[in-house]
């Protein structure tokens, strides 16, 4: 009985590991992967204000991994909007916690033609506490903005990677 279970598991593992499963890793193969190569060809535009700079730096860190500096083929622009809403309101009407909602509207364009090839909105939500110290509250708010910008940058890289991957699959 034990041998038959092992044989079934071995057979199932062989079927799943075969080339016919259709699964391909999004970033597999490093620089030789067409998706990674396309990400390296994206120029990331300037984004206004401090949070925009944080988002841009995160995107550069994640997308620009080619040390040769190949010329850009695409241009990524983003506009960020933020809103804050009171989350924890005490009996004396003081607010002790805020939710921060951040939305980035991204547009990926072909540099040669200027044509928009991909567009999307990316959202992230963070929260922070309001404490007795103004400085501690400010640092907490800035940390929530940084975390939301990091989350948005991760989502942008994933969305654009999937776009490039589907586009290269369609070209095959």
Assigned token pair, 133: 């110290």
**Could you identify the residue written with the tokens 């009407």?**
93
Q: What is the pLDDT of residue 143?
A: 93
- Listed as ranges, residues in the chain with pLDDT below 50 are 7-10, 14-15, 17-18, 23, 30
Rounded CA-CA distance 47/34 in Å is: 27
DSSP structure class, residue 27: S
Q: What is the pLDDT of residue 7?
A: 45
Structural domain boundaries of the chain?
A: 30-171
Torsion angle (degrees, nearest 10) of CA 15, 16, 21, 27: -150
CB of 82 within 8 A of CB of 126? no
Q: What is the pLDDT of residue 160?
A: 93
CB of 122 within 8 A of CB of 103? yes
Q: Could you tell me where the beta strands, DSSP code E, fall in the chain?
A: 42-44, 74-89, 95-110, 116-129
Q: What is the pLDDT of residue 92?
A: 82
Q: Is 47 helix (H, G, I), strand (E, B) or coil?
A: coil
Q: What is the pLDDT of residue 20?
A: 52
Rounded CA-CA distance 97/18 in Å is: 52
User: What is the C-alpha end-to-end distance of the chain, expressed in Å?
Assistant: 46
Assigned token pair, 43: 């120029």
If you compute the radius of gyration of the chain from its CA atoms, what whole number of angstroms results?
22
Q: Which fold has domain 30-171?
A: Double Stranded RNA Binding Domain (3.30.160)
């Amino acid at each position: 009985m034990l041998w038959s279970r092992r044989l079934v598991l071995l057979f199932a593992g062989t079927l799943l590991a075969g080339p016919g499963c259709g699964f391909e890793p999004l970033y597999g193969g490093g620089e030789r992967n067409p998706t990674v190569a396309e990400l390296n060809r994206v120029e990331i535009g300037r984004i206004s204000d401090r949070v925009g700079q944080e988002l841009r730096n995160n995107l550069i860190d994640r997308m620009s991994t080619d040390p040769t500096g190949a010329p850009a083929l695409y241009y990524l622009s983003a506009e960020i909007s933020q809103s804050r809403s009171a989350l924890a309101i005490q009996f004396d009407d003081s607010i002790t916690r805020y939710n921060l909602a951040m939305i980035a509207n991204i547009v990926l364009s072909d540099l040669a033609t200027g044509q928009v090839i991909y567009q999307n909105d990316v959202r992230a939500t963070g929260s922070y506490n309001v404490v007795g110290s103004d400085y501690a509250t400010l640092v907490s708010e800035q940390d929530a903005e940084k975390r939301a910008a990091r989350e948005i940058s991760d989502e942008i890289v994933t969305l654009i990677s999937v776009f490039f991957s589907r586009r290269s699959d369609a070209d095959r």
